A and B are shown apart, each in its own frame.
Chain A
């Protein structure tokens, strides 16, 4: 048999979680994660993203369902699966009085790897923490603490890295640094799963996007595919003379007047064979409506997301 190139690295099957409070945080989630991809789990606060990650990493017991990594069950074969996974949780939690060097070296030992100062050095340098290696963690800024947590997660050379809201409350500059770091890891062969409630973030760095809302995985799709499939395009015409209303002759098209009648916006399905643009433009000129400029735009993930969550509700 030919080795299947698309054999998933992580297989999540029918995963559910009901907390002791009775709250159902995950409802029958199934998902396959490919090796060497950046998967963004996108969803509003309380959607169940952290719960999903916590189950895979061993912090929370599942109520039902299974997760396997390369065929190894995360509970039965926990030693093998956990050795391959690094986790950077959402909350900034580090020992305050340890030095950066010690805490990162500790993590490596905890995961059963022999000491390798050269590797730790590389990780710290990559994360611009090298000059802070002897500092106590308590003296570092929030952004640096986050990077220390990433360094801890990378200390044992995981193939899979979970980043729970890596850029929540992080300013734009640092966010870009984080994205560069994540891409660098993916290029080095690490599978990265990150959660975010920022759509721009998913749009910016993900290869695939999974949308979670109220414990349900609504959709998982290649980012570009998701955008293409669900994305509508808009043609915006800047009119020479403002209109009071859309002329009856054009009522057959999905048109909207904006900017006090100065702009006409046509929404169409970019995927369709016929977009209707030619017909629309012909009819516009027949109706004597002239325009001075035009532009087209794609709907962002934001808009896609809003429409998905609405449908799901």
Chain B
């Protein structure tokens, strides 16, 4: 294994965050704080609690997931799209690194950033509302698995995208709506019956539900189901990435 090669990619990607610290860390923290002000304070005066958890605290796991999804995708997709776009990917293609090493380098860095960001947001949230984490290890597991899965998904988008518009398209049109509709800000039993059923098709619901369970032991679906669903998504993403790199899809003619 070319561990040095993999670490070179990983460190390079981590260093890129250092240069764009403002976009990478500060802006998600600010937008999360804004959500707290708007949802937590404004709506929280109407909805005082859900399932025995104060509304402000209830939305914390959903908010973290929201950021985790969007940041994982944008970090990973940009990380691989940019060298493809500028042509510097030639060096990675010509280097003695395997596909697995390339993916671990890029996706590992994107996931690491997301997890750090998630923890920063968690800490920020602690400034606004009283927090309690019932199962810290489960919480970390969900955090890491989700970050990895969606970083892989971002990697796929980055390889697939031909231009910056396409790069923004999927996160904007698919992921953000799914995240909002996946129960970030409410419990699905607050929805009419039909919508509850529809929501069960939303993969993000399972992430948020499981993650929230690790905080407050309340969930829309069983925690085992959540874990299973994340594993399925992870498996699908791995399979797609494997196929892409094996065939050289859009990076190797």
Contact = CB atoms under 8 A, between A and B. Distances in A.
A61 B9 CA distance: 23
Contacts of A152: 91
B252 A59 contact: yes
A224 interface: no
A278 B91 CA distance: 60
A93 B19 contact: no
A109 B6 CA distance: 8
B247 to A, nearest CB: 9
B26 to A, nearest CB: 19
Interface in A92-122: 93-97, 102, 106-107, 109-114
Interface string A32-75: 00000000000000000000000001111100000000000000
A132 interface: no
Contacts of A97: 19
Q: Which of B19, B94, B98 has the most CB of A within 10 A?
A: B94
A188 to B, nearest CB: 21
Given A61-B253, A79-B2, A97-B19, A110 B87 contact: no
Contacts of B15: 102
Given A82-B94, A85-B94, A110-B92, A91 B87 contact: yes
A19 B94 CA distance: 19
B5 A111 contact: yes
Interface in B1-15: 2, 4-5, 7-9, 11-12, 15
A107 B90 CA distance: 11
Contact of B91 (A19, A60, A107, A112): A107
B12 to A, nearest CB: 6
Given A97-B19, A107-B91, A19 B4 contact: no
Contacts of B12: 106
B252 A61 contact: yes
B88 A83 contact: no
Given A58-B93, A89-B90, A152-B91, A110 B253 contact: no
B235 interface: no
B252 A110 contact: no
B96 interface: yes
A102 B11 CA distance: 11
B93 A110 contact: no
Contacts of A79: 2, 96, 98
A288 B204 CA distance: 101
A93 B94 contact: no
A111 B95 contact: yes
A130 interface: no
A94 B92 CA distance: 12
B97 interface: yes
B15 to A, nearest CB: 8
Interface residues of A, number: 31
Q: Is the interface of A mostly helix, strand, loop or mixed?
A: loop
Interface in A11-28: 19-20
B51 interface: no
B5 A110 contact: yes
A87 interface: yes
Contact of B93 (A19, A59, A109): A59
A109 B94 contact: no
A20 B92 CA distance: 22
Contact of A87 (B7, B94, B97, B253): B94
B88 A94 contact: yes
Nearest to A19: B253
Given A61-B253, A97-B19, A110 B90 contact: no
A109 B253 contact: no
Contact of B94 (A20, A57, A113): A57
Tell me which of A82, A89, A111, A152 has the highest count of chain B C-beta atoms within 10 A of its own C-beta.
Answer: A111
Contacts of B86: 93, 95-96
Contacts of B96: 78-80, 82-83, 111-112
Contacts of A57: 93-94
Interface in B57-115: 86-88, 90-98
A58 B251 CA distance: 11
Contacts of A112: 2, 4-5, 95-97
A109 B7 contact: yes
Most buried by A among B8, B19, B93: B8
B136 interface: no
B94 A59 contact: yes
A145 B90 CA distance: 16
A-B residue pairs, 9 tightest by C-beta: A109-B8, A93-B87, A82-B96, A112-B2, A79-B96, A57-B94, A110-B8, A83-B96, A110-B95
5 contacts: A59-B93, A59-B94, A79-B98, A94-B88, A152-B91
